[in-house]
Amino acid sequence: MQFAMWELHLFLDTHPNNCDAARKLEEYRSRAEALRKEYEEKFGPLNETSRETSRWAWIRDPWPWEREAN
């Protein structure tokens, strides 16, 4: 979902007038928020804007380059 949003975001850089892509991005954006919340509840905060502000939650293993994270 986040990847699809990123792809639309890049497309809109060079096609800022494309309404279909902008609409699709808006639709994904509204769905992504809930998914992000679900992910963070399971795996911990994604960055410092996350709801979970515990220092331990942020520094907790695994980090993205570790096999266990993927």
Partner 1 sequence: MFIYEKKLQYPVKIKNTNPALAKIIISQYGGPHGEIGASLRYLSQRYSMPYPELKAILTDIGTEELAHLEMVGTIVYQLTRDLTPQQIQEAGFDTYFVDHTAGVYPVAASGTPFNANTFAVTGDTIADLHEDLSAEQKARLTYDNILRFADDPDVRDPIKFLRAREIVHFQRFGEGLRILTDKLDSKNFYAFNPSFDK
Where on the chain is the footprint of partner 1 (CB under 8 A)? 3, 6-7, 9-11, 13-16, 44-49, 58, 63-65, 67, 69-70
Q: How far is the CB of 69 from partner 1 (least distance, A)?
A: 7
Q: What is the DSSP letter of 61?
A: S
Q: How far is the CB of 4 from partner 1 (least distance, A)?
A: 12
Q: Which is nearer to partner 1, 30 or 70 (CB)?
A: 70
Q: Name 6's Cβ contacts closer than 8 Å, sequence gap at least 6.
A: none
Tell me which H or E stretch contains 6. Answer: helix 2-14
Distance CA 37, CA 20 (A): 27
Q: Which is nearer to partner 1, 34 or 65 (CB)?
A: 65
